[in-house]
Amino acid sequence: MLTKDDPKLDQLKQTIDQVMQKPYSDSYLIAVLHKTQALYGYLPEDIINIISVDMNIPTAHIWGVATFYHYFNLTPQGQHRIAICLGTACYVKGAAQIVETLKQQLKIDMGQTTADGLFTLRPARCLGACGLAPVVMIDDTIHGELTPKKMSDIVNKHRRQAKKK
């Protein structure tokens, strides 16, 4: 829930103030949503309502935009975001097996988050690392030339690190 003095919200408001000074300020809606996601990890409903008021854009329109683009998450994300590439190069080189490995190991489907909140699994369309196919991106790190074994080792490593903390 939002509290009055949320430093993230202050940052967001700053961004909104800046874009409202510019011509065609409505056109910065997507930029503001990017900022929101960067701060919160997803697009919380309360924040959308605030954006709606501050930018003077109907919430219906904002949700329309937010749901149109795959990049925006509408639910909270796990601590580690696993994006598995389903682009052509990765597909041709066996991405399907990596998907299977992950689904089995994490016991979740695409788009879901593990019960412990550690991982969110989502598909990606080409991470631009086709030379290393098949590829997954965990948070901001690319892991390439994967095999089912290599993949599950990587997941286990993240699990161990999380335990240590």
Partner 1 sequence: MQQGMRHLSTLLDEQLERHGLKDRVKINVSGCLGMCHKGPIMVVNPGYTLYGGLEEPDVAQIVREHLIQGRPIARLVIEEDHLFNRFFRIFGDVNFFGKQMRIALRNCGIIDPENIDDYLALRGYEALAKALTDMTPQQVIDELKTSGLRGRGGAGFPTGLKWQITADQVSGEKYVICNADEGDPGAFMDRSAIEGDPHTVLEGMMIGGYAVGAAQGIVYIRAEYPLAIERLERAMAQARDHGLLGDHILGTDFCFELEIRLGAGAFVCGEETALIQSIEGARGMPRPRPPYPSVSGLFGKPTLINNVETWANIPVVIVDGGQWFSSIGTEKSQGTKVFALAGKVVNTGLIEVPMGTTLREIIYDIGGGIPHGKAFKAVQTGGPSGGCLPADYLDTPVDYESLAQAGSIMGSGGMIVIDEDSCMVDIAKFFLEFTQSESCGKCTPCREGTKRMFEILTRISDGRGQAGDIEKLERLGDMIKKSSLCGLGQSAPNPVLSTIKNFREEYEEHIRDHTCRAKVCPSLIAYAINDACVGCGACKRGCPVNVISGRTKQKHTIDQTQCVRCGLCLATCKYDAIDKV
Residues near partner 1, by CB under 8 A: 24, 26-31, 33-34, 61, 64-65, 68-72, 86-93, 96-97, 100-101, 103-104, 124-131, 133, 140, 147-149
Cα dist from 130 to 84, 88, 133, 142, whole Å:
12, 8, 5, 11
Closer of 78 and 87 to ligand FES (Cβ): 87
Q: How far is the CB of 136 from ligand FES (least distance, A)?
A: 9
Closer of 6 and 132 to partner 1 (Cβ): 132
Chain centroid to CA 65: 16
Closer of 66 and 127 to ligand FES (Cβ): 127
53, 56, 61, 66 alpha-carbon torsion, rounded to 10°:
-60
C-beta of residue 39 within 8 angstroms of C-beta of residue 8: yes
Closer of 30 and 130 to ligand FES (Cβ): 130
CA angle 137, 78, 1 (to 5 degrees): 140
Q: Is 90 in the site for ligand FES (CB under 6 A)?
A: yes
Q: Of 129, 136, 146, 151, which one interacts with ligand FES (CB under 6 A)?
A: 129
13: amino acid identity, one letter: K
Contacts to ligand FES by CB under 6 A: 85, 87-90, 126-130, 133, 135
